[in-house]
Amino acid sequence: MIQTISIGHLLREAVAAPYRNLVTRPTGAAVRTRIEETLARSNCRTAMLDFTGIELVDLSCADEVVAKLLLAARNACFFVLQGLREDHHEAIDHVLTHHRLAVAAVPPGSREPRLLGWVRSDAREAFACLCEQGPLGVGGLSGSLGWLESRSREALMELTLHRLVHPIGELYHPVPTV
Give pLDDT tens digits for 106-147: 988 777 899 999 999 999 999 999 999 999 999 999 999 999
Q: What does the alpha-carbon distance between residue 117 and residue 104 come to, in Å, rounded to a whole number?
A: 9
Q: Which helix (H) or strand (E) holds 123?
A: helix 121-133
Percentage of the chain beyond pLDDT 70 is 97
Q: For the domain 2-117, what is the CATH code?
A: 3.30.750
Q: What does the alpha-carbon distance between residue 91 and residue 130 come to, in Å, rounded to a whole number?
A: 26
With cut-offs at 50, 70 and 90, classify the pLDDT of residue 1: confident
Q: Which residues pair with 4 in a beta bridge?
A: 48
Q: What does the alpha-carbon distance between residue 149 and residue 137 come to, in Å, rounded to a whole number?
A: 10
Q: What does the alpha-carbon distance between residue 173 and residue 20 come to, in Å, rounded to a whole number?
A: 34
3-state secondary structure (DSSP) of residue 149: helix
Give the predicted TM-score (pTM) of the model: 0.92
Q: Which CATH class is domain 121-174?
A: mainly alpha
Task: Check if the beta carbon of residue 36 is closer than 8 Å to that of residue 28.
Answer: no
Domain with CATH 3.30.750 in the chain: 2-117
The pairing of beta strand 46-50 with beta strand 78-82? parallel
pLDDT of residue 43: 86
Domain with CATH 1.10.10.10 in the chain: 121-174
Task: Check if the beta carbon of residue 103 is closer than 8 Å to that of residue 66.
Answer: yes
Phi, psi of 117 (to 5 degrees): 105, -155
With cut-offs at 50, 70 and 90, classify the pLDDT of residue 74: low
Higher pLDDT, 72 or 103: 103
